[in-house]
Amino acid sequence: MRRFALLLGGVATSVVIVAFAAVAWMGVCSGQVVCVVANETSQVADVSVGIYGREYAVKGLSPGGSFSFEFEPAADAHYEIEVILGSGARYKQEIGYVTSGVSLHHRIIVGDGAVEFTATTE
């Protein structure tokens, strides 16, 4: 009887550990990861990305330079991008689509008056 109770206790402990690991994994994978990259030919003086009333910005991206950030999606939204190139040219663009419950990696490439956007699950 005692051996059965220990075995049952071990099974219960294993179930709790597996459940905890699954919840932890879901928490890690639930956010959006965004990488902003300057294209290979553009010096970017300033770039900012706005979403859900927050702004993520960096000054001085060399050609090919990048920065990234993460956030938790709250609802359907899009990114508001503002870029100032090294030449002083400035542009704004709304791009992309974000929704809660879908975990994606977004790559935003800026420079030369254009923004490219890709979304992947990795």
| 73 closest CA partner among 54, 92, 47 | 54
CA 92 to mean position of chain CA atoms = 20
What confidence tens digit (pLDDT) does each residue in 15-60 have? 333 333 322 223 333 478 999 999 999 999 999 999 999 999 999 9
Tell me the pairing of strands 32-38 and 105-111.
parallel
59: Cβ contacts below 8 Å, ≥ 6 apart: 45, 46
Cβ(37)–Cβ(107) below 8 Å: yes
Domain ranges of the chain: 1-30, 31-120
According to the CATH classification, is domain 31-120 in 2.60.40.2890? yes
Q: What is the pLDDT of residue 65?
A: 95
pTM (predicted TM-score): 0.70
Q: Is the dihedral of CA 68, 69, 72, 73 positive or negative?
A: negative
- Give the separation between CA 78 and CA 5, rounded to whole angstroms: 54
Q: Of 3-12, 88-97, 111-120, which gets the smallest average pLDDT?
A: 3-12
